[in-house]
Structure 1
Amino acid sequence: MGDKYSHLHKKKNPKRTKEEISEDRIKRKKDKEVKQNGNAKKSKRSFKKSAGK
């Protein structure tokens, strides 16, 4: 039974240091914020277009 779930508990990359992981996390957070801002602007514009049809 342990084998079935063993893949869930594997560390993705154990060689990476904590600093690298935290840097990645910060970078990902910034990317996400940028994407959300871009999507918010886009969605408003596309909504107006679709409403005008």
Structure 2
Amino acid sequence: MQQWGLSEETTDINHKYCQYIHIANADDGAGYANATNGRVMFPNSTNAGDDLFH
């Protein structure tokens, strides 16, 4: 059986890294969506959060 996806046992692009993504959903923000060190923001004012999750 062959399995695809992220795993701690594999190498290269399929390797699972112990990192996280902080998703923020502020009322207002710069542009449609924006990102900075350790955070991605989808402002309510641009409806980006709704587009992300639906």
TM-score range, shorter chain: under 0.3
Q: Which has the higher helix share?
A: 1
TM-score by length of 2: 0.26
Q: Over alpha carbons, which structure has the higher Rg?
A: 1
Q: Which has the higher strand share?
A: 2
- More relative contact order, 1 or 2 (CA 8 Å, 6+ apart): 2
TM-score by length of 1: 0.26
